[in-house]
Amino acid sequence: MTQEEPDFAADPMPPEIAALGDGSEPVWIFAYGSLMWDPEFPSVAAEPALLRGYHRRFCLYSYDYRGTRTRPGLTLGLDRGGACRGIVLHLPPETLAEAIDTLWSREMTAPRVYDVRSLPVQTARGRMTALALTVRRDHPDYAGRLSLDEIARIIAGAAGRRGANRDYLAGTVRHLADLGLADAQLTRLAERVEALAAVIG
C-alpha cells in the first residue's frame, strides 16, 4: 500500500446501530452536507430541519474523497456550538438495514471520525428525533477552527477520488440555496475559493 492509497475500510458497526435495521422503528438521518444531494441510499421522505447545539463547518481533513495524503482536502463536519439548518431523510423501512450499511460504510472510515447521536431537530411538523453524525474533536483528522482564508486555500487546491474539493463546496452551497437554507458563511467561502481557483488555474 502506497502513501496515496490509505486503507479506508469502515469501522465495525456497533450492535445498537445494527439493531436499527430491524425495521421496527422509523429511522431519520440529519443531513447537512453531501448527504443532502448525494446520499447513495434511497429515502421515502425528506424535509428541512433545524439542529441546535451543532454547526456545519469545514473541520475534517480528507485524504481520499476530496484530497490526498500529500495534499489533503477538507470536508464538512457537525461541530459543537451554534445551530445548523439541513434536512432529515426518512430511511425506507423495506430496505432499512441496507441503507444503514451504506451510510456506515460511506461515513465511518476507520478510525471512526464521527459519533452517531440521536438528537432533537425542529421541522415544520414539529420536534422529532434524528440520527446525526457529529465530529470527534479528539480524532487526528479534526482540523480545528481554521480561518476562512486557510479553509479556502486548502479547498481551492485539493482533489481526491470523488473529485475536486471546490466542487463539493459548490454542490453543498447550491443545494442549500435550492432548499431555501442558504448558508452565508459557506457562500462567502465559495466566493473566496472561486477567486483563488481563478488564480491557480
The DSSP string of 39-99 is -SS--SEEEEEEEEEEEEEEEEEESSSS--SSS-EEEEEEEEEEEEEEEEEE--GGGHHHH
Q: Please pick, among 107, 150, 191, 194, the residue that the annotation labels catalytic.
A: 107
Confidence of residue 90 (pLDDT cuts 50, 70, 90): very high
Indicate the CATH number for domain 15-144. Answer: 3.10.490.10
Average pLDDT, integer, range 83-101:
92
What integer pLDDT is reported at residue 137 of this predicted model? 95
What integer pLDDT is reported at residue 86 of this predicted model? 94
pLDDT mean across residues, the chain:
88
Confidence of residue 81 (pLDDT cuts 50, 70, 90): very high
Asked if 107 is an active-site residue, the reply is yes
Burial code (b: 16+ CB inside 10 Å, e: under 16) for 19-38 equals: ebbeeeeebbbbbbbbbbee
Tell me the domain boundaries of the chain: 15-144
20-41 residue pLDDT tens: 888 778 899 999 988 888 888 8
For the purposes of burial, counting CB atoms within 10 Å of the CB of 178, is it exposed (0-12), middle (13-18) or buried (19 or more)?
A: exposed
Q: What percent of the chain has pLDDT over 70?
A: 94
174-188 residue pLDDT tens: 989 988 888 899 999
165-178 helix and 148-157 helix, angle to the nearest 10 degrees: 110
| Predicted TM-score (pTM) of this structure | 0.85
> Is it the case that residue 5 has pLDDT exceeding 50?
no
What integer pLDDT is reported at residue 12 of this predicted model? 79
> Is it the case that residue 98 has pLDDT exceeding 60?
yes
